Structure 1
Amino acid sequence: MKNIQKTLGIALVIFGCTTGIAQEARKLLNEVSSKVRNYDNISIDFKYNLNNAKEGVNQDTRGDVTLKGDKYLLNMLGITRIFDGEKIFTIVPEDEEVTISTFNAQDDKDVTPSKMLTFYEKGYNAAMDIVQNVNGRKVQFVKLSPIDNNAEIKNILLGIDKQTKHIYKLIQTDSKGTKYTLTVQRFKTNQTLSKNMFTFDEAKYTEDGYYINKLD
């Protein structure tokens, strides 16, 4: 789950950028934030790649996440994680185990799925980077740098579809040279969601023989 947190906890770095470029980048990021906050809910299918050339690691996987306010339902690496606004439920079918923990905002240093589309609003410097043509779409990349000089993240590139103002790609490189790339493959908004989507049914998993590990 640590890699999932890192994937969805992305931030970018740039040094020596001009004030004008930084203001242009911040303006674009504010437009993205405004667009995201106007949706009732968001559903994203994504591709995730973890790469470390020095260690000879290159892994691809896919996942999906549904967001509604602070609540989320994340499926990735065969694991389901539900956040109902108060508690986090991590369901691991392979181990037939569910871990339940209480969310504490003061202890939350990672960018959780509920923050994945707005994490850049505070704590980062920003500058415009390259523009790429992706299947006929113009994607503007923005570089962000964590204000905290001790941050484990070295840099991240945030690719934004210039027409829709939706995030298309996140590329994060940490201080050890590991690169995490998240590419959005489908971005849907204001879907009809089940009223129980963010509700954990403990009785169901107990009946199915799961071990319920309550950390609190």
Structure 2
Amino acid sequence: MKQFLKMSVLALCLVVSAQAQEKNKAKALLDQMVAKTKSYKNVVIDFKYSIYNAKEKINQESKGNVAMEGNKYVLNFMGVTKLFDGKKVYTIVPEDEEVTISNHDDSDANSVTPQKIFSFFQKGFKYTMDITQKVGGKTIQYVKLTPTSGKDQRKEILVGIDTKTKHIYTLIETGKNGTKTTLTVNTFKFNQPLSKTHFTFVQSKYPNYYINKAD
């Protein structure tokens, strides 16, 4: 009986140790991705975004692009341009010929910015290594994130990272309601020769637009 207990304790210790190693490897890979991205002066990404829910008969796909430099960004997605110059957020809607200017609050945990794709997982998740896939000559290692809060409406998130470049390749989020959203990076460029006014709102470019100051 004592021998059995010793073996059981040993097996449990090995399982716990293996789980800890997997968690450490997963966290280390995520940290490498973040560090590599932050090392660049700027990052320009073309991406594809899809949302799917069989039960709700939702199957949509869109394309977009984003340029990021520090905390500044210009995001073009679904016909809308969102520009943040470090102080104000400018939401430009050509279809309505309208520009909405609002403040950005860094302390607001619910604020959504492109940069959060590289930081959202730092709190509130369990980490584990998932599958490895070959995609177009790239080796993509997936890290599975499982929310630690039962209130989180996300079931799990898979972050796919190129093992050679340490660049993000894909982000797959599965909700508890069955909705699956996928962001796939088509091109990842860095240290691009962007103009000095790339992250500056130039009102003269929108002479007939209604300027709505939300704050």
Partner of 2:165: 164
Matched residue type, 1:65: V
Aligned-partner SS, 1:142: strand
Aligned-partner SS, 2:118: coil
Alpha-carbon deviation of 1:111? Answer: 4.3
1:214 maps onto 2:213 in alignment: yes
CA distance in 2, matches of 1:107, 1:137: 36
Alpha-carbon deviation of 1:19? Answer: 1.6
1:50 maps onto 2:51 in alignment: yes
Identical counterparts, % of pairs:
50
Alpha-carbon deviation of 1:107? Answer: 2.4
8 A Cα contact 2:51 2:180, kept in partner? yes
Point out 4+ residue stretches in structure 1 off by more than 6 angstroms.
none
Partner of 2:3: none
Matched residue type, 1:139: I
**Larger Rg, first or second structure (1 or 2):** 2
Describe the shift of the 1:52–1:25 C-alpha distance in structure 2 as closer, same or farther (beyond 3 A).
same
8 A Cα contact 1:111 1:119, kept in partner? no
Partner of 1:35: 36
1:137 maps onto 2:147 in alignment: no
Alpha-carbon deviation of 1:78? Answer: 0.6
The TM-score normalised by the length of structure 1 is 0.87
Alpha-carbon deviation of 1:34? Answer: 1.2
Aligned-partner SS, 1:106: coil
- Measured against aligned partners, the alpha-carbon deviations of 1:26-64 in whole angstroms (never above 9, x if no partner) come to 111111111111100000001111111111111111100
Alpha-carbon deviation of 1:110? Answer: 4.3
Residues 94-133 of structure 1: pairs in structure 2 closer than 5 A: 94-133=95-134
Partner of 1:182: 183
- Measured against aligned partners, the alpha-carbon deviations of 1:114-151 in whole angstroms (never above 9, x if no partner) come to 22223323332211000111112110000112333312
Q: Which has the higher contact order (CA 8 A, sep 6+)?
A: 1
Describe the shift of the 1:152–1:85 C-alpha distance in structure 2 as closer, same or farther (beyond 3 A).
farther
CA distance in 1, matches of 2:149, 2:74: 30
Instruction: Number of aligned residue pairs: give it.
Output: 199
Unpaired segments ≥5 residues, structure 2: 1-15
The TM-score normalised by the length of structure 2 is 0.87
Q: CA RMSD in A?
A: 1.6
Unpaired segments ≥5 residues, structure 1: 1-15
